[in-house]
Amino acid sequence: MSKFVTLNGNQTIGEAARQIDPDVIAAYPITPSTAIVETIAKFKADGLISGEFVCPESEHSAMSLCIGAASAGGRVMTATASQGLALMWEMLYIAAGLRLPIVAAIANRSLSAPINIHGDHSDTMGARDSGWIQIYSENCQEAYDNFIQAFRIAEHLDVRTPVLVGLDGFIISHSMEVIQVEDDAEVKKFIGEYKSLYPLLDSKVKMTVGPIDFTDYYFEHKRNQLEGIENAPQVIEEVGKEFGKKFGREYGFFEGYRLDDAELCIVAMSSAAGTCKDAIDELRSEGKRVGLLKPRIFRPFPHQRISEALIKMKAVAVLDRSSSPGAFGAPLFTEIRSALYDYEERPKITNYVYGLGGRDIKIEHFKEVTDDLEKIAETGKVEKVYSYINLRE
């Protein structure tokens, strides 16, 4: 039977990891994801996890170790954040290129320099072209649910692509929340047995993983790699629905909040969406027809579904918790703006960067954004395509 437990974001990932009990867990300490590893270490020491738990000497080694273990045919996970994910960068591409279904929990944190340990999405956005599927969580419950689903998605034979699950550093990773933890046996049943297609431990087949592939076939193989992520949407949808059927919390590509009759829309991912919902309730009581679209899946980017949800809006504000220096807008914005291009009638759209290095975003800020949206809807003009929230200039 499921039970309600008070856990913080890191502990929820640890709890999910205990229930999933991967064959190999390898991770290096880094704020704010360290407690995930510590929770797992304690479970391991108490005999509650049967898989191997390793403390390598760096994140680069942790991901390398995961790649080795996954190549051997194991179910594998890691956890990291920020510089740790950045240090894994080389190996992230290799995990994806080798189609190894590794799952990583990322307590989203800003990148140096200057050094900052607080939450933003710079780390995972930096990995957005690495070939990993990316899922973002609004709260501890979603982090738990997403992490469990991540294994099903990653290991699906049509997908076989690594998945990372983001939870905002400190805001979610260190916040206590009452979450519904499902029954161990039910989680295990939901995840199912993992059987690798080409395990290196199969002594009958001799195989080399990741050999040289020059001008002759590299291009074709990189194209083939895309099939996994191209097949992912269907699997993500199926798994989200099945999860809902089994545990009562259904998941899709995004969540709409008071979106049906909205004319103005704020797009925001992860923990900021929670604050935004409160802001929208207040704005609605003032008679403003504003809604929230909270993307859950960022890779593969659900461009069609999100466009269809936004197309009838008068004005859309995309809020990014990372920046993309020199680009025409931040990552989420460029995706959405590009997705809307094919429609003749499309909403006016504007981009805000917020919360870098853990800077707060509050209800009043969403109200300011809504004021801007009203003005855009009224005049039909976007005066500033790119601006910042709660920044001293």
Partner 1 sequence: MKEEDRLQERPPIEDFLRMDRIPHIWCPGCGIGTVVTSFAEALKKSELDLDKVAILSGIGCTGRVAGYVKLDSIHTTHGRALPVATGLKLANPELKVVVFSGDGDIAGIGGNHFIHAARRNMDILIICVNNFNYAMTGGQVAATTPIDANASTAPYGNFEYPFSLPYLAEASGATYVARWTALHLRRVTKSIQEALGKRGFSFIEVITPCVTLYARRNRLGDGLNLLKYYYEKSEIQHGADTRTLDISYQGKLIVGKFVDKEKPTFLDCMNEHLGKVLGDKYQPYGVYHDGD
Q: Minimum Å distance from CB 29 to partner 1?
A: 4
Binding residue for partner 1 (CB under 8 A) from 5, 29, 93, 288? 29
Residue type, 92: L
By CB under 8 A, how many residues form the interface with partner 1? Answer: 18
Closer CB to partner 1, 45 or 385, in the complex:
45
Closer CB to partner 1, 44 or 346, in the complex:
44
Contact range with partner 1 by CB under 8 A, out of 32-40, 159-167, 216-224, 266-274: 32-40
User: Rounded to an integer, what is the distance from CA 21 to the centroid of its chain?
Assistant: 21
Question: Is 18 within 8 Å of 43 (Cβ atoms)?
Answer: yes
Query: By CB under 8 A, what part of segment 38-67 binds partner 1?
Result: 38, 41-42, 45, 55, 57-58
Q: Minimum Å distance from CB 41 to partner 1?
A: 4
Kindly state whether residue 304 participates in binding partner 1, applying the rule CB under 8 A: no
Q: Minimum Å distance from CB 87 to partner 1?
A: 8
Residue 188 CB contacts under 8 Å (≥ 6 apart), including other chains: 19, 20, 21
Question: What angle do helix axes 218-247 and 184-191 make, rounded to 10 degrees?
Answer: 150
Residue type, 1: M
Contact range with partner 1 by CB under 8 A, out of 29-37, 95-103, 202-210, 312-320: 29-37
Q: Minimum Å distance from CB 305 to partner 1?
A: 38
CA angle 308, 311, 313 (to 5 degrees): 130
Q: Minimum Å distance from CB 106 to partner 1?
A: 16
Kindly state whether residue 357 participates in binding partner 1, applying the rule CB under 8 A: no
Tokens of residue 298, six digits = 């960022």
Kindly state whether residue 31 participates in binding partner 1, applying the rule CB under 8 A: yes
Contact range with partner 1 by CB under 8 A, out of 25-33, 262-270, 371-379, 380-388: 25-33
Q: Could you tell me which residues are beta bridge partners of residue 107?
A: 167
Other Cβ atoms closer than 10 A to 219: 11
Closer CB to partner 1, 113 or 205, in the complex:
113
180-186: long-range contacts (C-beta < 8 A, 24 or more apart)? 180/2, 180/3, 180/4, 180/141, 180/247, 180/249, 181/2, 181/3, 181/4, 181/5, 181/7, 181/12, 181/15, 181/144, 182/2, 182/19, 182/148, 182/247, 183/1, 183/2, 184/19, 186/2, 186/246, 186/247
Closer CB to partner 1, 36 or 236, in the complex:
36
Nearest to 314 by CA among 366, 374, 267, 369: 374
Tokens of residue 383, six digits = 């005066």
Sheet holding 254-257, edge to edge: 254-257, 290-295, 264-267, 315-320, 348-353, 386-388
Residue 118 CB contacts under 8 Å (≥ 6 apart), including other chains: 109, 110, 169, 170, 357, 358
Closer CB to partner 1, 14 or 300, in the complex:
14
Closer CB to partner 1, 38 or 263, in the complex:
38
Q: Minimum Å distance from CB 79 to partner 1?
A: 12
Closer CB to partner 1, 50 or 208, in the complex:
50
Query: By CB under 8 A, what part of segment 100-159 binds partner 1?
Result: 112, 115
Binding residue for partner 1 (CB under 8 A) from 16, 20, 37, 106? 37
Kindly state whether residue 77 participates in binding partner 1, applying the rule CB under 8 A: no
Q: Which residues bind partner 1 (CB under 8 A)?
A: 28-31, 34-35, 37-38, 41-42, 45, 55, 57-58, 83, 87, 112, 115
